[in-house]
Amino acid sequence: MTINDILPVSLCLATEELFDARRFKTGFGDNINIREKDMKVGPRMTKLKRELNSMMTEQEFLKGYKVAILGNMDRILALAARYTNVDLREVEGVLDNGKAIMDKVIFAENFNDIAKLEPEFKAKVMLPVYSLFIKSMRSNKVSFL
């Protein structure tokens, strides 16, 4: 098994974290500020966190946040296509559902709108991609621990 093999699943996990927008906003920079107490980067991260959580500047961050999610999802859908030989119908479902979720992300007006999409992303994209990955590995006789 290579990194390339696990890339679709890894991207799904990273993207699911982004859909949890509330946790992202509240936990932003906590490692640097709380655990490491970095005096150089920490104050800058604190300033960014305040701006991220401010109603006045939230929209600036939202645009970039949406772009990050959309970029990951585009890559996930491209990688899911590699599983067409495993289960074509499931791949088509992932592609259709993924595009629908991407459309909802584009029209999200705030971080809460994005957070509401997490269960749908998990059920309709992430878990099916994981299932396709497992089926693919089994068909290639790759053993798991």
- Residue entry with tokens 């859908």: 77
Give a yes or no: residue 29 inside a domain: no
Give the list of residues 6+ apart from residue 142 with CB closer than 8 angstroms, or none.
1, 5
Q: Which two tokens stand for residue 102?
A: 């991407």
What is residue 68's predicted lDDT score, i.e. its pLDDT?
Answer: 94
Backbone angles phi, psi at 20, to 5 degrees: -85, 70
Residue 29 contacts residue 50 (beta carbons within 8 Å): no
- The pLDDT tens digits for 67-108 are 999 999 999 999 999 999 989 999 999 999 999 999 999 999
The pLDDT value recorded for residue 105 is 97
Asked whether residue 125 is domain-assigned, the answer is yes
Give 30-49 as a DSSP string: HIIIIII--TTTHHHHHHHH
Q: Would 85 be classed as within a structural domain?
A: yes
Distance CA 122, CA 27 (A): 21
Q: Is residue 17 part of a domain?
A: yes
Q: Is residue 63 part of a domain?
A: yes
This model's pTM is above 0.95: no
Q: How far apart are CA 116 and CA 128, in angstroms?
A: 19
Query: Is 111 within the bounds of a domain?
Result: yes
Average pLDDT over residues 50-78: 89
Where in 2-145 does DSSP place strands (E)?
Answer: none
Structurally, how many domains does the chain consist of? 1
Q: Can you give the residue range of the structural domain that contains 81?
A: 3-22+58-139
Mean pLDDT value across residues 20-47: 74
Does residue 43 sit within a domain?
no
Residue 42 lies in a domain: no
